[in-house]
């Protein structure tokens, strides 16, 4: 295959498409804490500290995981357009919010797996609640583990029912603690606006169920409605099902280190795994509550992570319906063409 010739205008349009794809990454509370700078054949990714959760995420760990997920989408989009994205992570120690430079090198036409993976970027949706009873195939889980390891992280499955129950209980404890803490509650209120909002960020009404169905064991969802009756109606299958639903496969995403570079790598690993799951018509539910409480995160690390650092707790399964709605900020709000 031959490399396609591109003019400067072609490259500019391709870079804009790549940033548009990057925006569809998941982020904590849908804060979308990223900015992109474009210059020549380089795209720079920066964290937006004004969008960090000051109470739940004082060190910016979840902010950088979110940015890492966007970075993976950016790289994948460029590969799908026939580029070789050359990544330089944390390129300037004196600029801590500059997370990555990606230089575009011409490459051959993308392979079919790259195109299939790229097609999942805008299909992927976060899930909140129970899953259908279908079993997640061992092949999908093996592929997800391989993908995550390629990005420098690892997946640990809670195979033992007691471990799964313990993680659910720790999530429940953290959720109760956060609901009783005024600063946490105020932060949730900031990022979960009323249905009348015109904002293009945050957890809006269409992004969470009015009443999340319980799972067995029960992993509680965040209380974005805060007693206001907001949220979507359950999917038909969930509305008809009685009792507790299926929790799905519980996974801990872990890293060997716990610094900014590890968090960005973890975000890339997370997004790569989510796109692999989406290829199999699976979705993920995120549970970061216990990892936002330092004592509980240390407990999880000591007992369930083989001394690795837990960065994300998620459940994987087959969702009901087409998935919840989400919003994204306009590209011109987050991308700057630098002189």
Supply the CATH number for residue 29's domain: 3.40.109.10
Residues 167 and 269 in one domain: yes
* Per-residue confidence band for 283, with pLDDT thresholds at 50, 70 and 90: very high
- Indicate the pLDDT class of residue 4, thresholds 50, 70 and 90: low
Does residue 242 carry a pLDDT above 60? no
Task: Give Cβ neighbours of residue 241 (< 8 Å, ≥ 6 apart).
Answer: 130, 213
Q: The pTM is what?
A: 0.95
Same domain, 292 and 224: yes
Sheet with 283-286, edge to edge strand ranges:
154-157, 249-255, 309-317, 283-286
**Exposure of 43 by Cβ count < 10 A (0-12 exposed, 13-18 middle, 19+ buried)?**
buried
Residue 1 has pLDDT above 50, yes or no: no
In a domain, 98, yes or no: yes
* Predicted local distance difference test score (pLDDT) of residue 168: 98
Decide if 216 contacts 247 (C-beta within 8 A): yes
| 20 and 45 co-located in one domain | yes
Q: Does residue 132 lie in a domain region?
A: no
Q: Is residue 327 part of a domain?
A: no
Is a pLDDT exceeding 50 seen at residue 239? Answer: no
Q: What is the largest CA-CA distance in the chain?
A: 61
pLDDT at 107: 85
pLDDT over 50 (residue 281): yes
Q: Which residues are paired to 312 by β-bridges?
A: 253
Asked whether residue 152 falls in the same domain as residue 117, the answer is no
Residues 175 and 259 grouped into a single domain: yes
Q: Residues 219-237: pLDDT tens digits?
A: 999 999 988 889 988 655 5
In a domain, 2, yes or no: no
Q: Angle, to 10 degrees, between the axis of helix 61-80 and the axis of helix 8-22? A: 140
Rg of the Cα trace of the chain? 20
The count of domains in the chain is: 2
Find the helix or strand (DSSP H, E) in which 262 lies: helix 260-279
- The model's pLDDT over 189-202, given as tens digits with 9 standing for 90+, comes to 999 999 989 999 99
Whether residue 326 lies inside any domain: the answer is no
Give me the mean pLDDT over the 248-265 stretch.
98
Considering only residues 211 and 320, tell me which one the structure prediction assigns the higher pLDDT: 211
Instruction: Looking at the structure, tell me whether residues 166 and 267 fall in a common domain.
Output: yes
User: Same domain for 120 and 152?
Assistant: no
- Average pLDDT value for the chain: 93
Are residues 108 and 242 part of one domain? no
Confidence of residue 335 (pLDDT cuts 50, 70, 90): very high
> Do the domain assignments include residue 133?
no
Do the beta carbons of residue 222 and residue 188 sit within 8 Å?
A: yes
- 240 has pLDDT over 50: no
Full residue range of the structural domain in which residue 168 is found: 138-317
- State what percent of residues in the chain have pLDDT above 70: 94
Find where tokens 């639903």 sit: 245
Statement to judge: residues 162 and 70 lie in one domain: no
Q: Judge whether 322 lies within some domain.
A: no
- Whether 161 and 303 map to the same domain: the answer is yes
Is the residue at 262 inside a domain?
A: yes
Higher per-residue confidence, 209 vs 30: 30
CA distances from 76 to 83, 211, 272, 275, 289 (A): 9, 35, 9, 11, 29
Q: Residues 70-82: pLDDT tens digits?
A: 999 999 999 999 9
Give the tens place of pLDDT for each residue, 6-29.
788 899 999 999 999 999 999 999
Same domain, 303 and 157: yes
Statement to judge: residues 156 and 235 lie in one domain: yes
- Name the pLDDT band for 322 (thresholds 50, 70, 90): low
């Amino acid at each position: 295959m031959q490399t396609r010739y591109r003019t400067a205008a072609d490259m500019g349009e391709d870079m804009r498409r790549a940033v548009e794809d990057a925006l569809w990454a998941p982020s904590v509370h849908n804060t979308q804490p990223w900015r992109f700078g474009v210059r020549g054949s380089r795209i720079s990714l920066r964290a937006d500290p004004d969008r960090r959760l000051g109470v739940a995420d004082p060190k910016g760990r979840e902010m950088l995981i979110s940015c890492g997920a966007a970075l993976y989408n950016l790289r994948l989009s460029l590969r799908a357009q026939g580029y070789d994205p050359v990544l330089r992570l944390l390129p300037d120690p004196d600029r801590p919010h500059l997370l990555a430079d990606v230089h575009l090198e011409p490459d051959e036409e993308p392979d079919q797996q790259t195109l299939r993976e790229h097609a999942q970027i805008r299909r992927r949706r976060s899930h909140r609640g129970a899953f259908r009873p279908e079993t997640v195939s061992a092949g999908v889980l093996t592929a997800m583990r391989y993908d995550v390891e390629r990005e420098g992280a690892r997946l640990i499955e809670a195979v033992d029912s007691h471990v799964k129950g313990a993680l659910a209980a720790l999530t429940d404890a953290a959720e109760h603690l956060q609901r009783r803490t005024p600063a946490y509650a105020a932060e949730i209120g900031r990022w979960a606006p009323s249905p009348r909002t015109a904002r293009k960020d945050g957890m809006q009404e269409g992004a969470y169920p009015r009443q999340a169905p319980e799972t067995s064991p029960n992993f509680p969802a965040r209380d974005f409605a805060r007693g206001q009756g907001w949220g979507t109606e359950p999917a038909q299958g969930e509305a008809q099902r009685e009792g507790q639903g299926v929790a799905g496969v519980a996974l801990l995403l872990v890293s060997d280190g716990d610094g900014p570079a590890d968090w960005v790598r973890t975000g890339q690993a997370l997004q790569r795994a989510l796109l692999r799951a989406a290829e199999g018509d699976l979705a993920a539910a995120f549970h970061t509550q216990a990892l936002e409480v330092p004592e509980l995160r240390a407990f999880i690390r000591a007992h369930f992570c083989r001394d690795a650092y837990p960065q994300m707790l998620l459940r994987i399964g087959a969702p009901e319906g087409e998935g919840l709605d989400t919003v994204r900020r306009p590209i011109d709000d987050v991308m700057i063409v630098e002189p």
